[in-house]
Structure 1
Amino acid sequence: MMRQLLSIALLISGITALQAQSVIVDRQVVGPTGAFYSGGQHEISSTAGEAVIATGQSANEAWTQGFQQPLTKNILVFEVLTEPESCAGARDGSALIPSISGCEPPYNILWSNGSTGMSAAGFETGEHSVSVSTGACQSTVTFFIGLEDETPCDLQFYSGITPNGDGQNDYWHIENIHLPRFANNEVRVFNRWGEEVWKGKNYDNQQVRWEGQGKRQAELPDGTYFYVAEINGTTYKGYIELTR
């Protein structure tokens, strides 16, 4: 009987629970229909000054019995997810901030390698940092980029290509040539008579790569071809077997 009388009194005084944000409460809350809820997750107003009966906090607001009040202290909250450097010297480690909460956006993000935005790449193995700021709020987090393979990132020239459209060896692959340290390159392919049949600058296995075509994109016949690759002042030579 006492619980029922209390419910009526609260409803008459205008203390209601309005739908907006979810918070965890540790006391009884009067719902929109006048029902009582004890503990658990309930929907209440997220507007400062709204009448509520709950205790808790979420984001930049706090609830007390009677009226909701904004928090006096704002804190930036975020985490950093990382991907390791693929091999020693690759400098292809990366980091990502999935989300940021606290204070007022927009957020200014500056990584220790000079990058901005929610993600950054080009990290080598070791300790790095990222700073997030907005208004009077500022926070710096230190993170570590690991190493996936301790083997040095050397170039490896594959000796075969089967460009038949099956997704296997459809282009000539040069291991690690996509790394920044090998970006300055020029690759030429010759037939057995010494005639240049293909040439590409900044070979990267993606946008620039040899798929068994000639200078005019015509398919070349099966056979043995020879390459000359100039990379950072060093000349590499070898052969490629083309089989369709």
Structure 2
Amino acid sequence: MFTLVFRIPAEKEQLFTAHREVKEQAMQAELRHARELKEAKAAAEAKLDESLKEYTNSIAVLRAEMEEETVARKAAQDRLALLEAEQKEYDRLVLQTDALALRLFPHSQAHAVNKVAERRVEQEMANPDAPWDPYDHLVALSARVQHMRSVDRHLADLLDVAIQICKVLWPKEPVPANITLTTNRLKHAGRRIREWKCSAARAGADAALRIACSWYDDLDLDAFHSLRADAPTDTDPARTAKRQDR
């Protein structure tokens, strides 16, 4: 009994000590938990702030990229509109130039039509008889240019020939200095040739009279104002042929 009385306080003291230790451990655990919770909360807040910053930066980058894309799209649209306008103007100039070339060189039309037809056959067009598009007019213009080059080569020779004709028809006059003066001179070529014909006829008649007068001293030149009717040299075929052979 005495032993039991002394044991109870000792056990009570042990229980009190154990309770105090447990309480201290619980308090330490609570403090540790609070500290860890605070640290976790701080870490979470920091992580959240970092995520928010990254999100904000991503949004800013995305917005900048979208703005750049918008600017690039607008620039591309403007460039496309400019190219379309330039293409329309180019097509208009091609049609206008081809029409002018046709008016200046109408004989080139057949060659141009053949070239356009050849191009349409090569392209295997579904409707080869469709109206010409701007590219067809460009092909036609190229064909006309080739035709004009061919004509131009002949025109270069034509100028030399024209100068030679001027030298022959007007041997005592200076050669015209340019193509305009040469053209103006050649406008009178018909009259010059008629003058030459008359001069040649007079020279031939004078030569014939000289020959006749050299053989017949008493020849009456006043009688040669017209042909004699029923002259043997006109009525006799043999004598006519002999006269013509002379």
Q: Which has the higher helix share?
A: 2
TM-score range, shorter chain: under 0.3
Q: Which has the higher strand share?
A: 1
Decide which structure has the larger Cα Rg and report it: 2
